[in-house]
Protein backbone atom coordinates (compact mmCIF):
# COMPACT_ATOMS: atom_id res chain seq x y z
CA UNK A 1 0.00 0.00 0.00
CA UNK A 2 1.26 3.35 -0.92
CA UNK A 3 0.64 6.30 1.43
CA UNK A 4 0.25 9.79 -0.01
CA UNK A 5 1.53 12.63 2.22
CA UNK A 6 -1.10 15.11 3.40
CA UNK A 7 1.26 17.95 2.76
CA UNK A 8 3.64 17.89 -0.04
CA UNK A 9 6.99 19.26 0.88
CA UNK A 10 9.11 20.61 -1.84
CA UNK A 11 12.68 21.50 -1.52
CA UNK A 12 13.48 24.79 -2.99
CA UNK A 13 16.92 25.59 -4.02
CA UNK A 14 18.08 28.77 -2.21
CA UNK A 15 21.28 30.48 -3.16
CA UNK A 16 24.00 30.24 -0.52
CA UNK A 17 24.30 34.05 -0.32
CA UNK A 18 20.63 34.31 0.64
CA UNK A 19 21.04 31.71 3.37
CA UNK A 20 23.83 33.77 4.87
CA UNK A 21 21.62 36.85 4.92
CA UNK A 22 18.76 34.96 6.59
CA UNK A 23 21.03 33.54 9.27
CA UNK A 24 22.34 37.02 10.08
CA UNK A 25 18.93 38.69 10.01
CA UNK A 26 17.01 36.13 12.08
CA UNK A 27 18.25 37.27 15.52
CA UNK A 28 17.62 40.88 14.60
CA UNK A 29 14.10 40.06 13.42
CA UNK A 30 13.39 38.19 16.66
CA UNK A 31 14.65 41.08 18.73
CA UNK A 32 12.51 43.53 16.80
CA UNK A 33 9.34 41.44 17.19
CA UNK A 34 9.90 40.92 20.93
CA UNK A 35 10.93 44.54 21.68
CA UNK A 36 8.69 46.64 23.94
CA UNK A 37 9.21 50.35 24.46
CA UNK A 38 10.89 51.18 27.78
CA UNK A 39 12.26 54.30 29.35
CA UNK A 40 15.96 54.78 29.80
CA UNK A 41 17.55 53.72 33.09
CA UNK A 42 18.02 57.32 34.11
CA UNK A 43 14.47 58.45 33.46
CA UNK A 44 12.74 55.25 34.54
CA UNK A 45 14.19 55.37 38.05
CA UNK A 46 11.53 56.59 40.43
CA UNK A 47 12.42 59.95 41.90
CA UNK A 48 13.86 59.67 45.39
CA UNK A 49 11.02 60.56 47.72
CA UNK A 50 11.54 63.61 49.84
CA UNK A 51 12.59 62.59 53.33
CA UNK A 52 9.65 63.12 55.64
CA UNK A 53 11.02 64.14 59.00
CA UNK A 54 9.09 63.45 62.15
CA UNK A 55 10.49 66.31 64.17
CA UNK A 56 9.54 66.42 67.84
CA UNK A 57 7.17 69.15 68.94
CA UNK A 58 8.36 71.52 71.65
CA UNK A 59 7.82 75.03 72.93
CA UNK A 60 10.15 76.98 70.66
CA UNK A 61 8.97 80.28 72.19
CA UNK A 62 10.29 79.51 75.65
CA UNK A 63 13.95 78.60 75.09
CA UNK A 64 16.58 80.67 76.85
CA UNK A 65 20.30 80.65 77.49
CA UNK A 66 20.80 79.15 80.95
CA UNK A 67 24.60 79.00 81.03
CA UNK A 68 27.61 80.27 79.07
CA UNK A 69 30.98 78.56 79.24
CA UNK A 70 34.33 79.61 77.84
CA UNK A 71 37.33 77.26 77.78
CA UNK A 72 40.42 79.42 77.15
CA UNK A 73 42.90 76.52 77.14
CA UNK A 74 41.73 73.41 75.33
CA UNK A 75 40.83 70.56 77.73
CA UNK A 76 41.43 72.69 80.81
CA UNK A 77 38.70 73.85 83.18
CA UNK A 78 35.92 75.95 81.68
CA UNK A 79 34.70 79.20 83.19
CA UNK A 80 31.05 80.11 83.56
CA UNK A 81 30.38 83.70 82.47
CA UNK A 82 27.29 85.90 82.39
CA UNK A 83 28.05 87.47 79.03
CA UNK A 84 30.31 86.74 76.08
CA UNK A 85 31.05 88.10 72.66
CA UNK A 86 31.08 85.72 69.73
CA UNK A 87 32.36 85.82 66.16
CA UNK A 88 32.24 83.31 63.29
CA UNK A 89 35.16 81.64 65.11
CA UNK A 90 33.05 81.04 68.22
CA UNK A 91 32.96 82.47 71.74
CA UNK A 92 35.71 85.04 72.21
CA UNK A 93 38.85 83.47 73.75
CA UNK A 94 37.37 79.95 73.63
CA UNK A 95 40.11 77.40 72.88
CA UNK A 96 42.39 80.25 71.88
CA UNK A 97 45.22 78.44 73.65
CA UNK A 98 46.23 74.81 73.82
CA UNK A 99 48.97 72.63 75.26
CA UNK A 100 51.07 70.64 72.80
CA UNK A 101 53.76 68.01 73.24
CA UNK A 102 57.13 69.69 72.83
CA UNK A 103 58.61 67.04 70.51
CA UNK A 104 55.70 66.15 68.24
CA UNK A 105 53.56 69.32 68.54
CA UNK A 106 50.58 66.99 69.01
CA UNK A 107 47.72 68.68 70.90
CA UNK A 108 47.41 67.31 74.43
CA UNK A 109 43.88 66.81 75.78
CA UNK A 110 42.23 65.34 78.83
CA UNK A 111 41.68 62.17 76.83
CA UNK A 112 45.36 61.43 77.42
CA UNK A 113 46.01 63.53 80.54
CA UNK A 114 42.81 63.66 82.59
CA UNK A 115 44.18 65.99 85.29
CA UNK A 116 44.30 68.78 82.71
CA UNK A 117 40.67 69.52 83.67
CA UNK A 118 42.00 70.77 87.04
CA UNK A 119 44.08 73.51 85.42
CA UNK A 120 42.09 76.73 85.82
CA UNK A 121 42.54 79.48 83.20
CA UNK A 122 40.76 82.78 83.88
CA UNK A 123 40.26 85.73 81.54
CA UNK A 124 41.12 89.02 83.24
CA UNK A 125 40.23 91.97 81.02
CA UNK A 126 41.90 95.37 81.46
CA UNK A 127 41.14 98.06 78.89
CA UNK A 128 44.02 100.19 80.19
CA UNK A 129 46.57 97.48 79.44
CA UNK A 130 48.34 97.38 76.06
CA UNK A 131 47.54 93.65 76.04
CA UNK A 132 43.87 94.27 77.00
CA UNK A 133 44.39 92.16 80.11
CA UNK A 134 45.83 88.74 80.77
CA UNK A 135 45.09 85.05 81.03
CA UNK A 136 45.73 83.85 84.57
CA UNK A 137 46.43 80.12 84.95
CA UNK A 138 46.30 78.37 88.34
CA UNK A 139 46.63 74.78 89.53
CA UNK A 140 45.29 72.59 92.37
CA UNK A 141 46.95 73.40 95.68
CA UNK A 142 48.32 69.90 96.14
CA UNK A 143 50.12 70.06 92.78
CA UNK A 144 52.68 72.57 94.09
CA UNK A 145 52.61 74.25 90.67
CA UNK A 146 52.83 78.02 90.69
CA UNK A 147 50.32 80.22 88.89
CA UNK A 148 51.34 82.26 85.86
CA UNK A 149 49.87 84.86 83.52
CA UNK A 150 50.23 85.52 79.80
CA UNK A 151 49.01 88.50 77.75
CA UNK A 152 45.38 88.27 76.69
CA UNK A 153 45.91 90.02 73.35
CA UNK A 154 49.66 90.36 72.88
CA UNK A 155 50.89 93.42 70.98
CA UNK A 156 52.60 92.98 67.65
CA UNK A 157 55.90 93.76 69.30
CA UNK A 158 55.33 91.01 71.87
CA UNK A 159 54.34 88.49 69.21
CA UNK A 160 57.51 89.19 67.25
CA UNK A 161 59.55 88.21 70.31
CA UNK A 162 57.72 84.86 70.71
CA UNK A 163 58.72 81.71 68.86
CA UNK A 164 56.20 80.19 66.51
CA UNK A 165 55.17 76.70 65.48
CA UNK A 166 53.54 75.90 62.15
CA UNK A 167 52.74 72.21 62.54
CA UNK A 168 50.44 71.85 65.55
CA UNK A 169 48.67 68.52 65.05
CA UNK A 170 45.01 67.94 65.87
CA UNK A 171 42.73 65.20 64.54
CA UNK A 172 45.08 64.16 61.77
CA UNK A 173 45.99 67.66 60.58
CA UNK A 174 49.43 69.06 61.37
CA UNK A 175 49.17 72.43 59.65
CA UNK A 176 47.80 74.54 62.52
CA UNK A 177 49.95 77.46 63.66
CA UNK A 178 50.60 79.00 67.04
CA UNK A 179 52.79 81.27 69.17
CA UNK A 180 54.72 79.77 72.07
CA UNK A 181 53.55 81.87 75.02
CA UNK A 182 55.86 83.60 77.44
CA UNK A 183 54.88 84.66 80.95
CA UNK A 184 54.40 88.26 82.02
CA UNK A 185 56.89 87.47 84.79
CA UNK A 186 58.57 84.49 86.39
CA UNK A 187 59.12 81.04 84.94
CA UNK A 188 58.10 80.01 81.47
CA UNK A 189 54.48 78.76 81.24
CA UNK A 190 55.73 75.76 79.27
CA UNK A 191 58.16 74.81 82.04
CA UNK A 192 55.42 75.03 84.68
CA UNK A 193 52.99 72.97 82.61
CA UNK A 194 55.68 70.40 81.79
CA UNK A 195 56.31 69.85 85.50
CA UNK A 196 52.56 69.45 86.07
CA UNK A 197 51.86 66.87 83.33
CA UNK A 198 55.19 65.06 83.75
CA UNK A 199 56.79 65.52 80.30
CA UNK A 200 57.84 68.40 78.01
CA UNK A 201 54.95 70.46 76.68
CA UNK A 202 54.41 73.94 75.28
CA UNK A 203 51.63 76.46 75.82
CA UNK A 204 50.67 77.96 72.46
CA UNK A 205 48.24 80.65 71.35
CA UNK A 206 46.49 80.34 67.98
CA UNK A 207 48.33 82.14 65.20
CA UNK A 208 46.89 84.15 62.31
CA UNK A 209 46.71 81.37 59.71
CA UNK A 210 43.05 80.52 58.99
CA UNK A 211 41.91 77.10 60.14
CA UNK A 212 38.63 76.07 58.53
CA UNK A 213 36.46 73.34 59.95
CA UNK A 214 35.58 70.27 57.94
CA UNK A 215 32.38 70.18 55.87
CA UNK A 216 29.33 68.33 57.14
CA UNK A 217 26.68 66.37 55.25
CA UNK A 218 24.27 69.29 55.57
CA UNK A 219 26.89 71.93 54.81
CA UNK A 220 29.43 70.54 52.31
CA UNK A 221 30.87 74.04 51.83
CA UNK A 222 30.77 75.16 55.45
CA UNK A 223 34.26 76.68 55.76
CA UNK A 224 33.73 78.14 59.25
CA UNK A 225 36.90 79.40 61.01
CA UNK A 226 38.09 77.79 64.23
CA UNK A 227 40.89 78.14 66.77
CA UNK A 228 41.85 74.98 68.69
CA UNK A 229 38.33 73.56 68.97
CA UNK A 230 38.03 69.90 68.03
CA UNK A 231 36.07 70.73 64.93
CA UNK A 232 33.54 73.56 65.05
CA UNK A 233 33.24 77.07 66.51
CA UNK A 234 30.39 76.40 68.98
CA UNK A 235 28.91 73.58 70.99
CA UNK A 236 25.27 73.80 72.09
CA UNK A 237 23.44 71.45 74.48
CA UNK A 238 20.25 71.68 76.54
CA UNK A 239 19.64 71.07 80.23
CA UNK A 240 16.76 68.78 79.30
CA UNK A 241 19.16 66.56 77.38
CA UNK A 242 21.45 66.30 80.40
CA UNK A 243 18.46 65.38 82.58
CA UNK A 244 17.41 62.65 80.13
CA UNK A 245 20.94 61.25 80.25
CA UNK A 246 20.84 61.42 84.04
CA UNK A 247 17.70 59.28 84.08
CA UNK A 248 19.30 56.71 81.80
CA UNK A 249 22.40 56.58 83.99
CA UNK A 250 20.34 55.82 87.08
CA UNK A 251 18.45 53.11 85.20
CA UNK A 252 21.78 51.43 84.42
CA UNK A 253 23.26 51.46 87.94
CA UNK A 254 24.88 48.07 88.47
CA UNK A 255 24.96 47.32 84.73
CA UNK A 256 28.05 47.49 82.48
CA UNK A 257 30.21 49.00 85.20
CA UNK A 258 27.88 51.86 86.16
CA UNK A 259 28.79 52.42 89.79
CA UNK A 260 26.29 52.59 92.63
CA UNK A 261 27.31 56.19 93.30
CA UNK A 262 25.36 57.23 90.19
CA UNK A 263 22.08 56.47 91.93
CA UNK A 264 22.66 59.81 93.69
CA UNK A 265 25.44 61.66 91.88
CA UNK A 266 24.55 64.16 89.16
CA UNK A 267 26.22 64.63 85.79
CA UNK A 268 27.67 68.10 85.37
CA UNK A 269 26.92 69.73 82.03
CA UNK A 270 30.49 71.04 82.12
CA UNK A 271 31.74 67.50 81.42
CA UNK A 272 30.53 67.96 77.84
CA UNK A 273 32.40 71.25 77.46
CA UNK A 274 29.59 73.21 75.75
CA UNK A 275 29.61 76.94 75.08
CA UNK A 276 25.87 77.66 75.14
CA UNK A 277 23.48 75.73 77.39
CA UNK A 278 19.77 76.01 76.60
CA UNK A 279 16.67 75.49 78.71
CA UNK A 280 12.93 75.77 78.15
CA UNK A 281 11.99 73.52 75.22
CA UNK A 282 10.35 71.10 77.65
CA UNK A 283 11.76 67.99 75.95
CA UNK A 284 15.26 66.50 75.72
CA UNK A 285 17.37 66.81 72.59
CA UNK A 286 15.38 69.68 71.09
CA UNK A 287 18.73 70.98 69.85
CA UNK A 288 18.87 68.00 67.48
CA UNK A 289 16.15 69.61 65.35
CA UNK A 290 16.99 73.32 65.63
CA UNK A 291 18.68 74.14 62.34
CA UNK A 292 18.99 77.94 62.64
CA UNK A 293 18.43 80.40 65.46
CA UNK A 294 19.27 83.88 66.64
CA UNK A 295 19.82 85.23 70.15
CA UNK A 296 17.99 88.25 71.51
CA UNK A 297 17.54 89.84 74.93
CA UNK A 298 13.80 90.15 74.22
CA UNK A 299 11.27 87.36 74.01
CA UNK A 300 9.98 88.77 70.74
CA UNK A 301 12.44 89.33 67.92
CA UNK A 302 13.57 92.97 67.98
CA UNK A 303 16.89 92.80 66.15
CA UNK A 304 16.45 91.63 62.57
CA UNK A 305 20.20 91.93 61.98
CA UNK A 306 21.22 89.43 64.68
CA UNK A 307 23.59 86.83 63.21
CA UNK A 308 22.09 83.48 62.33
CA UNK A 309 23.68 80.61 64.25
CA UNK A 310 23.49 77.33 62.38
CA UNK A 311 23.67 73.96 64.08
CA UNK A 312 25.62 72.07 61.44
CA UNK A 313 25.84 68.56 62.88
CA UNK A 314 25.42 66.53 66.03
CA UNK A 315 28.46 66.22 68.28
CA UNK A 316 29.87 62.71 68.44
CA UNK A 317 31.41 61.78 71.77
CA UNK A 318 34.61 60.17 72.99
CA UNK A 319 35.69 59.22 76.53
CA UNK A 320 36.59 62.77 77.59
CA UNK A 321 33.22 63.45 79.30
CA UNK A 322 33.96 60.47 81.56
CA UNK A 323 36.54 62.67 83.31
CA UNK A 324 35.22 64.21 86.54
CA UNK A 325 35.85 67.96 86.33
CA UNK A 326 36.21 68.16 90.13
CA UNK A 327 38.69 65.31 90.68
CA UNK A 328 40.32 64.75 87.29
CA UNK A 329 39.53 61.03 87.53
CA UNK A 330 38.01 59.10 84.63
CA UNK A 331 34.89 57.03 85.25
CA UNK A 332 34.94 53.59 83.64
CA UNK A 333 31.40 53.79 82.28
CA UNK A 334 29.61 57.13 82.67
CA UNK A 335 28.50 58.73 80.47
CA UNK A 336 30.10 56.98 77.47
CA UNK A 337 28.59 53.50 77.87
CA UNK A 338 25.17 54.94 78.66
CA UNK A 339 25.20 57.23 75.62
CA UNK A 340 26.15 54.27 73.44
CA UNK A 341 22.94 52.56 74.58
CA UNK A 342 20.51 55.20 73.33
CA UNK A 343 22.36 57.90 71.37
CA UNK A 344 24.42 55.82 68.95
CA UNK A 345 24.07 56.07 65.17
CA UNK A 346 22.36 59.46 65.04
CA UNK A 347 25.10 61.00 62.91
CA UNK A 348 25.14 59.21 59.53
CA UNK A 349 28.71 60.34 58.95
CA UNK A 350 29.88 58.57 62.13
CA UNK A 351 27.24 55.94 62.78
CA UNK A 352 29.38 53.96 65.25
CA UNK A 353 29.55 56.85 67.72
CA UNK A 354 27.11 58.30 70.24
CA UNK A 355 25.96 61.92 70.11
CA UNK A 356 25.31 64.59 72.73
CA UNK A 357 24.80 68.24 71.84
CA UNK A 358 25.19 69.92 68.45
CA UNK A 359 28.01 71.80 66.77
CA UNK A 360 27.27 75.35 65.67
CA UNK A 361 28.66 78.05 63.40
CA UNK A 362 27.71 81.74 63.79
CA UNK A 363 27.25 83.70 60.57
CA UNK A 364 28.52 86.90 62.17
CA UNK A 365 29.51 88.63 65.40
CA UNK A 366 27.32 89.40 68.38
CA UNK A 367 26.89 89.22 72.14
CA UNK A 368 25.12 86.54 74.17
CA UNK A 369 24.05 86.79 77.80
CA UNK A 370 22.65 84.32 80.30
CA UNK A 371 18.86 84.72 80.15
CA UNK A 372 18.75 85.71 76.48
CA UNK A 373 15.99 84.26 74.32
CA UNK A 374 16.58 81.75 71.54
CA UNK A 375 14.53 82.50 68.40
CA UNK A 376 14.23 79.39 66.24
CA UNK A 377 14.23 80.37 62.55
CA UNK A 378 14.20 76.94 60.94
CA UNK A 379 13.99 73.32 61.97
CA UNK A 380 15.52 70.22 60.47
CA UNK A 381 17.26 67.04 61.53
CA UNK A 382 20.68 68.40 62.44
pLDDT digits (tens, 9 = 90+) for 249-295: 999 999 999 999 999 999 999 999 999 999 999 999 999 999 999 99
Torsion angle of C-alpha atoms 128, 132, 75, 353, degrees rounded to 10: 130
Can you count the helices (H) and strands (E) in the chain?
6, 19
Domain count, the chain: 1
Residue 71 lies in a domain: yes
Question: How far apart (Å, rounded) are the C-alpha atoms in residues 161 and 151?
Answer: 13
Question: How far apart (Å, rounded) are the C-alpha atoms in residues 259 and 337?
Answer: 12
Residue 273 lies in a domain: yes
What pLDDT is recorded for position 124? Answer: 97
8-state DSSP, 50: P
Residue 139 lies in a domain: yes
User: Once rounded to an integer, what is the mean pLDDT over residues 223-240?
Assistant: 97
| Structural domain harbouring 223 | 60-379
User: Once rounded to an integer, what is the mean pLDDT over residues 237-248?
Assistant: 98
Residue 118 lies in a domain: yes
How many residues are listed for the chain in this entry?
A: 382
What pLDDT is recorded for position 152? Answer: 98
What pLDDT is recorded for position 54? Answer: 83
pTM: 0.85
Cα 333–Cα 338–Cα 343 angle in degrees, nearest 5:
140
- E-assigned strand segments in 114-226: 120-125, 133-138, 148-151, 164-170, 173-180, 201-206
Q: Which range has the worst mean pLDDT, 21-35, 104-118, 275-289, 306-320?
A: 21-35
Question: How far apart (Å, rounded) are the C-alpha atoms in residues 314 and 216?
Answer: 10
- For 373, list phi and psi in degrees, rounded to 5: -95, 145
Residue 33 lies in a domain: no
Residue 41 lies in a domain: no
| Residue with the larger pLDDT of the pair 301 and 271 | 271
Q: What is the CATH number of the domain that holds 98?
A: 2.40.33.20
User: Once rounded to an integer, what is the mean pLDDT over residues 145-157?
Assistant: 97
Residue 18 lies in a domain: no
| Residue with the larger pLDDT of the pair 318 and 25 | 318
Contact 341, 334 (CB under 8 A): no
8-state DSSP, 111: T
User: Once rounded to an integer, what is the mean pLDDT over residues 228-232?
Assistant: 96
What pLDDT is recorded for position 337? Answer: 98
What pLDDT is recorded for position 376? Answer: 97
Residue 283 lies in a domain: yes
| Residue with the larger pLDDT of the pair 20 and 187 | 187
What pLDDT is recorded for position 53? Answer: 60
What pLDDT is recorded for position 50? Answer: 43
Q: In what order do the strands lie in the sheet with 164-170?
A: 107-108, 97-101, 201-206, 173-180, 164-170
Q: Is the pLDDT of residue 71 over 50?
A: yes
Q: Is the pLDDT of residue 96 over 90?
A: yes
3-state secondary structure at position 346: coil
Amino acid sequence: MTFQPLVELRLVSIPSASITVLLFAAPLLYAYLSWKPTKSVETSRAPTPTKVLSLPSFDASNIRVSKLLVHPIKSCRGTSVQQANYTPQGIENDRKWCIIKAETHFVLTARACSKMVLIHPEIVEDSSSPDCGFLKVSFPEDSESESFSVPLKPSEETLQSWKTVSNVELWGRNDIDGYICESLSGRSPSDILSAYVGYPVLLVMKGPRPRLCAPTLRYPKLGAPTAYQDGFPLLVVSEESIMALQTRVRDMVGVQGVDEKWSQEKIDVERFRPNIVLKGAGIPFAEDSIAEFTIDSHREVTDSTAPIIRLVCKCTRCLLPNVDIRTGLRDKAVPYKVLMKFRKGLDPAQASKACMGCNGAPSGSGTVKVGDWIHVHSRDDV
